[in-house]
Amino acid sequence: MKKDYTGVIKSLGAVLLGLLAGAILMLAIGANPLKGFFYLFQGGFKSIERFGNIFAIATTLILTGLSVAFAFRTGLFNIGAAGQMLMGGLCATMIGLSFDSLPRIILLPFMFIVALLGGAIWGIIPGLLKARFNVHEVVATIMMNWIAYWIVYYVIGDYFTSGLLETESASIPAVAQLRLPWLTDLLNGSYLNLGIVVSIACVIIIKFILDRTTLGYELKAVGYNRHAAQYAGIKVNRSIILSMMIAGGLAGLAGLTYYTGYSINIQIGVLPTQGFDGIAVALLGATTPWGVFFSAAFFGLLHAGKGFMSANTIIPPQIADTIIAIIIYFTATSLFIEKMWVKMKTRRLEKKNIKSGGDE
């Protein structure tokens, strides 16, 4: 069977256009784009520590990306990964800070479960509203994002700060961190932590659910055509709620890996950009689990290298976020890229035909 590469071509096209736009921006502020990209990639690869950081950053993006991609497969747009991630992170942080006398082997699974639940609940609510009252999930999840934002603001701000800084929680004690001392030492102080195991396991599990289970089949059927699925006897409302619950749970785990593995505290007054980057990751990865993995790694590279680039050039680090946003824009307009690609292919084919016709 011939493999269909349209998805890969579309993604690569969007990445190329994004990088090109980034280069134009660098030129516009009087910087040399070749130098910029050289430092950007060097910043990602020059040492084992930085290489580890690519995947430390990707850990969270894989999970938010999976969250968005999974909901997308059921035809739902989960723009609330940021809020679900916050709630997962909040629950894990509260447990980590409150029960630091528990042994690690009990505490970490406990945090894992509450993060999963926190995110899942934040996903179920818009799922229920969609299934029961036909409230558009985009609007509902945006509202849920801001509710989560303010809950974290007051719960952390009022009860879990260290007293020194009012804008962040106290640091997560070592026993409750996902960081592994031997791994940190091995990678010369990289932020890479247990979270990467969680995120890769999730990639495999989600791949399995989507491709090999009845649940996955039903969810995808609802995504392709809600009415046909209903007619075929699939419980559409149940699928919507389940899909949002799983998507929320995945984003909740993203919060666990970020706030207790990568940053080891939770800042208030911030909606995590990873939630929105997850949309880019999911779309760039063509909403497939391994596609999500590779696009998260690519964005991880951009984020890991941007500081080094900015230190060595006049280019501000926001270039990475700008490139990511441009990539999303081009994946949204991928139809355009697809059309161009098909046109190019047919033109080449026509040329070939004309040529071979001429030879006869």
Partner 1 sequence: MKDMIDIIVNIFPYAIAFTIPLLITSLGGLYSERSGIVNIGLEGLMVVGFFAGAVTIKTLEVALPDLSIVIGLLVGIIAGVLFSMLHAFASINLNANQVISGTAINMLAGALTVFLARTITGSGNIGIRLGIVRWDVPLLSEIPVIGPLFFQKTYYTTWIVLAIWGFSWFLLYKTSFGLRLRACGEHPNAAASAGVNVIKMRYIGVMVSGGLAGLGGAVMIATYAGEFNGTVAGLGFLALAALIFGQWKPLGILGAAFFFGFARTIADASQVIPQFENFPPLILKIFPYVVTLIALVLFSKSSKAPKASGEPFDLSGK
Contact 260, 191 (CB under 8 A): no
Per CB under 8 A, contacts with partner 1 among 23-42 are 25, 29
Closest to partner 1 by CB, 90 or 176: 90
Nearest to partner 1 of 218, 321 (CB atom): 321
Please report how close the Cβ of residue 303 comes to partner 1 at its closest, in angstroms. 12
280 near partner 1, rule: CB under 8 A: yes
- Interface with partner 1 includes 290 (CB under 8 A)? no
Under rule CB under 8 A, which residues in 192-251 are in contact with partner 1?
A: none
Q: Establish if 336 lies at the interface with partner 1 (CB under 8 A).
A: yes
Provide, rounded to whole angstroms, the least separation between the CB of residue 176 and partner 1. Answer: 25
Q: Is 324 in the site for partner 1 (CB under 8 A)?
A: yes
CB atoms within 10 A of CB 271: 16
CB of 340 to partner 1, least distance (A): 11
Q: 266, 90 in Cβ contact below 8 A? A: yes
- For 85, the token pair is 């991630």
Q: At what angle do helices 6-28 and 33-45 cross, to 10 degrees?
A: 120
Residue 1 binds to partner 1 (criterion: CB under 8 A):
no
Distance of alpha carbon 12 from alpha carbon 299, whole angstroms: 13
CA distance 289 to 70: 8
**Complex with partner 1: residue 164 or 335, whichever CB lies closer:** 335
> Computed from CA positions of residues 120, 82, 64, 95, in that sequence, does the dihedral angle turn out positive or negative?
negative
Round to whole Å and give the CA distance between 126 and 148: 13
**Residue 5 touches partner 1, criterion: CB under 8 A:** no
Residues 301-320 that bind partner 1 (CB under 8 A): 314, 316, 318-319
322 makes contact with partner 1 (CB under 8 A): yes
Residue 20 binds to partner 1 (criterion: CB under 8 A): no
Specify whether the backbone of 268 is left (phi greater than 0), alpha (psi in -120 to 50) or beta: beta
Distance CA 82, CA 342 (A): 36
134: contact with partner 1 by CB under 8 A: yes
Q: Interface mask (CB under 8 A) for partner 1, residues 254-273, using x and -?
A: -----------------x--
Count of residues interacting with partner 1 (CB under 8 A): 45
Candidates 38, 217, 329, 341; binder of partner 1 (CB under 8 A) is: 329
Q: Does 150 bind partner 1 (CB under 8 A)?
A: yes
Q: Which is nearer to partner 1, 84 or 260 (CB)?
A: 84
Q: Does 346 bind partner 1 (CB under 8 A)?
A: no
Q: Is the CB of 50 or the CB of 303 nearer to partner 1? A: 303
Q: What are the C-alpha distances in Å from 131 to residues 117, 127, 221, 354?
A: 20, 6, 16, 55
- How far is it, in rounded angstroms, from Cα 324 to Cα 299? 7
Please spell the DSSP secondary structure of 202-256, one letter per residue: HHHHHHHHHHHSHHHHHHHHHHH-HHHHHHTT--HHHHHHHHHHHHHHHHHHHHH
CB neighbourhood size of 86 (10 A): 35
Question: Quick check: 60 binds partner 1 (CB under 8 A)?
Answer: no
Per CB under 8 A, the segment of 86-94, 142-150, 187-195, 225-233 that binds partner 1 is 142-150
Among 41, 77, 110, 294, binds partner 1 (CB under 8 A): 77
Phi, psi dihedral angles at 30 (to 5 degrees): 85, 20
Is-contact 277 299, C-beta < 8 A? Answer: yes
Site membership for partner 1, residue 146 (CB under 8 A): yes
Contact call for residue 186 and partner 1 (CB under 8 A): no
Q: Which residues bind partner 1 (CB under 8 A)?
A: 25, 29, 77, 79, 129, 133-136, 138-140, 142-147, 149-151, 153-154, 271, 276-277, 279-280, 283, 314, 316, 318-319, 321-322, 324-326, 328-329, 331-333, 335-336
